[in-house]
Chain A
Amino acid sequence: MAGSNNLNITPPRWLLAELTYKCPLQCPYCSNPLDYAKYPQELSTEDWKRVLSQARKMGAVQLGLSGGEPLTRQDLPEIVQHARELGYYSNLITSGYGLNEDKIIALKEAGLDHIQVSIQASTQELNDHLAGTESYLHKREVARLVKKHDYPMVLCVVIHRENIHQMQQILEMAEELGADYLEVANTQYYGWAHVNRDQLLPTREQFLEAEEIAQAYKEKVVGKMKIYYVIPDFYEDRPKACMNGWGTTFLTIAPDGVALPCHSARELPGLDCPNVNDHSIEEIWHDSKAFNFFRGDDWMQEPCRSCDEKEKDKGGCRCQAYIMTGDMHSTDPVCSKSPQHHLIDEAVQSARNSALSTEEKPLVFRNSKNSKLHF
């Protein structure tokens, strides 16, 4: 690996451990790569413990245990216990599938700090349709048990055109279930969501109406339930500062041990993302080609290069630039200064046409069969 002894490199703070790509759900906006079924190998328990120890030593403190569905890993309590001993704050990011009271207690005893449960919609019918699995009633029960055992409870609902009309009911459901935090996350259009964008992207009118409802509810539940509202950047003039800056804060480890500067970076060409089986986290973070690729701003093209806002949004999201323009170095086309901003307008128009059409394409669900069409 190239040795760049760059003193400006800040240590990782956030480690996202994608323990597995296995998942009983089939959400059509899943952020896992389209070709995930190509990577069936998984790190062993010992590998994960080593990765956790190395990243913690560098300063990582927030740990996301994610997937796929992390509960499919039988060694989850052992990994959690190791994380607790190291001083991580550990977040289990789960669909709730396969979670019961015994497991909730065992994970608490192992030292798990927080459980985030995803719900797909406020009604059973729509939830089960979107998840591709009967899961709504069980998710509600899991949410109750998470509260019963004194975890902070975070509900996460991904928003798109199929459920955006339920915004009010979703907010009421979260309050009724006693969520401490509600993450209302507008779909980000990568991976599976990109494939299904015409069917998922809300119209501007839908988005504005839903946002107004969510902001008003925020006031109503202040001090009781915190609402994190993740905006859909297709309706913004400026892009999001992706990952708080490439290689500054976030470290994702994929199920097979590939280290990624963001969980979508696997889709970018030529990064040669390193594997934790070959290198230590310290080497990966400091010296790897992938983690240095978009550090700083030397890589930027115009209009980013001379833009006075480049410190703020870091040129936007590299994965979005790549997926929309075909060039991962270009300005995120969400930015109204981008010469390719018309691509966003066209995507919005295309989704709008699809919404008004009487013959809408069916959603492509995230499963191994569909994944195998991509490699």
Chain B
Amino acid sequence: MALDLNQTISFSPLHRLQWEEAQQKDVILYPEGMVELNQSSAAILKLCDGKSTPDQIVSTLEQQFSATGLQKDVHQFLEIALNNGWVQQP
């Protein structure tokens, strides 16, 4: 599945994103499984609110972290997330 830049993106209702105190990291939980996230992946997924498009997420992150040139990495990660079913597009 390829990322559609014209569509909004939302976190999957069949998964749960949650901060784990014991592990000091965010994780994705799903039936009988768990993925541990690094800080940047977690930051991207938290912005998948069903209202923003991929590039709106990029600009929010660039503001949030006072950074530029994040587009390629964010697109790449969102595509992985899409293919794993963690996020979805209409």
Contacts and interface: CB of A to CB of B under 8 A. Distances in A.
Contacts of B20: 59, 61
A352 interface: no
Contact of A223 (B13, B27, B32, B85): B85
A252 interface: no
B22 A113 contact: no
B67 interface: no
Interface string B1-45: 100000000000110101010110001011111100000000000
A258 to B, nearest CB: 23
Contacts of A150: 13
B83 interface: yes
Contact of A91 (B1, B14, B23, B32): B32
A89 interface: yes
Interface string B29-68: 1111110000000000000000000000000000000000
Contacts of A113: 16, 29, 31
Interface in A100-137: 113-114, 116
Nearest to B12: A152
A214 B20 CA distance: 35
Contacts of B34: 13, 61-62, 89
- For A11, A58, A113, the residue with the greatest tally of chain B CB atoms inside 10 Å of its CB is A113
17 contacts: A11-B22, A57-B22, A58-B22, A59-B20, A59-B23, A61-B22, A61-B27, A61-B34, A62-B29, A62-B32, A89-B18, A89-B34, A91-B32, A114-B30, A152-B30, A154-B31, A180-B14
Contacts of A13: 34
Interface of A: 11, 13, 57-59, 61-62, 64, 87, 89, 91, 113-114, 116, 150, 152, 154, 180-181, 223, 226
B10 to A, nearest CB: 14
A116 B31 contact: yes
B1 A223 contact: yes
A223 B14 contact: no
Given A61-B27, A154-B32, 5 more contacts: A11-B22, A13-B34, A62-B29, A152-B30, A154-B31
Contacts of B32: 62, 64, 91, 114, 116, 154
Given A11-B22, A89-B16, A223-B1, A181 B29 contact: no
B31 A114 contact: yes
Contacts of A154: 31-32
Nearest to A13: B34
A223 to B, nearest CB: 6
Nearest to B32: A91
A152 B29 CA distance: 12
Contacts of B1: 223
- For B13, B29, B31, the residue with the greatest tally of chain A CB atoms inside 10 Å of its CB is B31
- For A61, A89, A91, A113, the residue with the greatest tally of chain B CB atoms inside 10 Å of its CB is A89
Contacts of B31: 91, 113-114, 116, 152, 154, 180-181
B50 to A, nearest CB: 16
B29 A226 contact: no
Contacts of A64: 32
Contact of A226 (B18, B23, B85): B85
B77 to A, nearest CB: 18
Contacts of B14: 152, 180
Contacts of B23: 59
A58 B21 CA distance: 10
Contacts of A58: 22
